[in-house]
Amino acid sequence: MSEQYFSAIQKFTVLDLGMVLLPVASQMEASCLIIQLVQEQTKEPSKNPFLSKKRAPIPELSLLRTVQQIPGVGKVKALLLLQKFPSIQQLSNASLRELEPVVGPAVAQHIQAFFTQPR
């Protein structure tokens, strides 16, 4: 694996494999760890400490794109938001206190402004 693919591999590992953390310092360590985890997963998935216990369902593409229209919200933050608030109604009714742990204070304010300011 070359340096140019390291970022893509990290995204694949987190988003597609459902890993919470990839504890590596280089692309060589990452590729070795991924190979080892894939091999272990085929033997006994429950023993892989990096896999999430429950994978969240992937939201509808139209809903994902709608949430991405909020200033400061890209694909990763949109996915995180939709895991916590699975509908636009729930997201629009969320308080700053509920939003901040998911996306941070600045983006939480953008989200609130998006839903509360008249257009």
> pLDDT (tens digit, 9 = 90+) per residue, 15-47?
777 665 566 767 678 778 777 777 766 666 666
C-alpha R_g of the chain: 17
Percent of the chain scoring above 70 in pLDDT? 67
pTM of the model: 0.50
Q: Which long-range contacts (CB under 8 A, 24 or more apart) does 42-51 make?
A: 50/17, 50/19, 50/20, 50/21, 50/22, 51/17, 51/18, 51/19
Reported residue count of the chain is 119
pLDDT at 109 over 80: yes
